[in-house]
Amino acid sequence: FGLLVGLAHRLGLASDLKTAVSEAVDLLRRENARFGADSPVTGNPAKRGAGQLMGRIPVIYGGGIFEPVARRWKCQFNENSKVWAQFEALPEANHNAVVGWEYPDDLISHMAALFITSRQHDHPRVGLRHELTFKMCLQNAIMADIFQPEGTSKLAQMMHAIQYGDYVSYYMAIGYGVDPTAIEPLVELKHQLAQRT
């Protein structure tokens, strides 16, 4: 992520990011202590978030700058926690995904909707979509939670959301008793692909 930001800056695609980078680094250092393994569950939102997701299939919602962050959470949950997860981009998810909450009806209670939102950086209509979709989840007996990243700059908020999702995926792996670094299915798939070239 840092290399891409640096490249964008050097190519003139991003303005001076010194303030945003400084804010992001300070925020991540502070939150590392709060999210870390030594932090008890009562003061650790990442541990509590992981606990809420145990036994559920997470669906992560993000819009605008948080769409790629939602995708990252999905990938980290897949790879580190070894759980099935999905992500939905807002506003696109409101064009079809909300209709798919009916069946299979016996599995809906095993879903968990996670919304990455920002009062400062979400488009007002996307913010409204987050709010309404969250309420619809609750009305359909789907566990729903909201994550609002800290910080003021877009960079700081994105990095804080990434940090939180990474920690949640790590604690879910611990909860399921799996090694977050193991990727045997990927290795096997690559091996089989290599055999067919």
The string of pLDDT tens digits covering residues 50-103 is 999 999 999 999 999 999 999 999 999 999 999 999 999 998 888 788 878 888
* pLDDT (0 to 100) of residue 119: 93
Rounded mean pLDDT, 15-32: 90
- Angle of helix 154-176 relative to helix 67-76, nearest 10 degrees, comes to 20
136 pLDDT more than 80: yes
Active site residue 135: no
Q: Of 95, 102, 184, 191, which one is the catalytic site residue?
A: 95
- The pLDDT score that the predictor gives to residue 183 is 84
- Is 82 among the catalytic positions? no
Catalytic pick from 31, 79, 82, 121?
79
Catalytic-role residue among 110, 123, 135, 190 = 190
Cα dist from 163 to 74, 110, 147, 176, whole Å: 13, 25, 12, 20
Predicted confidence (pLDDT) per residue in 137-193, tens digit: 999 889 999 999 999 999 999 999 999 999 999 999 999 999 998 888 888 888 888
Mode of pairing for the β-strands spanning 57-63 and 86-90: parallel
Active site residue 95: yes
